[in-house]
Structure 1
Amino acid sequence: MAASDRFEVPPEMRALAEKSVEQARQAFDGFISAAHQAVSAFEGHAETARKGARDVTEKAMSFAEHNIASAFELAQDLVRAKDMQEVLRLQADYIRRQMQALTEQAKELGESTSKAPKGAAPPR
């Protein structure tokens, strides 16, 4: 590989990128904490409807947390990548894993929603 083909990130830029990713993760953690508090405070129409809605909401929140954590892991891996080939491999692996995860999550949410109490929907 020719010296001009090397993909190098100066140490200062790498440190800045890592710090930015960490700050974004901390901001997201604060957001998730507030969202969890909001979910905990949620009041529904009836106890069974509320439980079904809460179960679906908590599952969706869990999926969102997992997906965002995966994106942060990718960002950290990309910052540490040694060359463009590694960047492309990391991105392709991430997309494959996320498509698999999203398919499974959609299936689970669909099943949970269909199991939620019928009283959760307001009458028409």
Structure 2
Amino acid sequence: MADINPSADSVRAMLSEANGRIRKAMVEYFELLEKGASQLPASDQVKQFCSQVQRNVTATFDLGDRLIQAKDAQDAFKIQSEFYQDQMRALTEQARSMGESAMKAATSAFTPKS
């Protein structure tokens, strides 16, 4: 019979296992996505975007792993706060990088070819 009141350790173990399975499926999904993206005309930009999305999703799974191991609510709030700060820095960098890539693509599209 299933344990009605599982211990914190068994709940953590179940969550870690589920997170691992979902993470594995995510890796497989992004591998398929990259294969499909290589056939698109703007494959470099698509690959860059996919890489950034993959980084964000991986960071979210890492957050889940860290939250599973949190000792108490204060520790969980600290972990979330650090995650949000890191994500805001990453978002700023990604926006800058995508802006540069878009400018480069626009410039090359309007440059006369000799």
Q: TM-score per shorter chain, which class? A: 0.7 to 0.9
Any idea what SS the aligned residue of 1:34 has?
helix
- Report the Cα offset of residue 41 of structure 1: 2.6
> Relative CO higher for 1 or 2, CA cutoff 8 Å, sep ≥ 6?
1
1:72 corresponds in structure 2 to 61
2:50 corresponds in structure 1 to 61
Q: TM-score scaled to structure 1, two decimals?
A: 0.77
Any idea what SS the aligned residue of 2:81 has?
helix
1:24 corresponds in structure 2 to 22
Unaligned runs of 5+ in 1: 1-8, 45-52, 120-124
Identity %: 29
- Report the Cα offset of residue 27 of structure 1: 1.0
Runs of 4 or more consecutive aligned structure 1 residues displaced over 2 Å after TM superposition: none
2:96 partner amino acid: K
Q: TM-score scaled to structure 2, two decimals?
A: 0.84
2:109 corresponds in structure 1 to 118
Unaligned runs of 5+ in 2: 1-6
Residues 68 and 75 (structure 1), Cα distance of their counterparts in 2 relative to 1, 3 Å cut: same
Number of residue pairs matched by the alignment = 102
Q: CA RMSD in A?
A: 1.3
Alignment of 1:1-124 (within 5 A): 10-42=8-40, 44=41, 53-116=42-105, 117-118=108-109
